[in-house]
Amino acid sequence: MAFPKAFAALLIASFVLVHFTYALQQGVKPPAPSPQPPKPIECIGACKYRCSKSSRQNLCNRACGSCCNRCHCVPPGTSGNYEACPCYFNLTTHNSTRKCP
């Protein structure tokens, strides 16, 4: 009777050994790096250029600054180019009009 018990123990031990060997061959992947916070931009300068051709520069700068602080980006140029900063484009006022110039 000792032979079947020893055989069963050896069989279980071999299955455990094979399992751990397979697990080691798969390799442990390092955790993904945490996402970096958005690179801060200098909102005042970016908005000053963005609003340079506006007829109401103070209003434009105030709205642009608010949008820049929330989105951490300002589209290039003095108008348009919203595809470069979708967050900036999607911000709206309570009247559902675009907030950012």
Instruction: Give the pLDDT means over successive 10-residue stretches in the chain (101 positions).
Output: 76 84 69 68 93 94 94 92 91 91 92
60/79 Cα distance (integer angstroms): 11
Q: For residue 82, what are the CA distances in angstroms to 2, 31, 44, 49, 101?
A: 79, 34, 18, 15, 10
pLDDT of residue 7: 82
Residue 98 bridge partners (DSSP): 92
Write down the domain spans for the chain.
Answer: 43-90
SS3 category, 40:
coil
Residue 98 backbone phi and psi in degrees, to 5: -65, 135
Residue written as tokens 């340079």? 52
82/63 Cα distance (integer angstroms): 15
pTM: 0.58
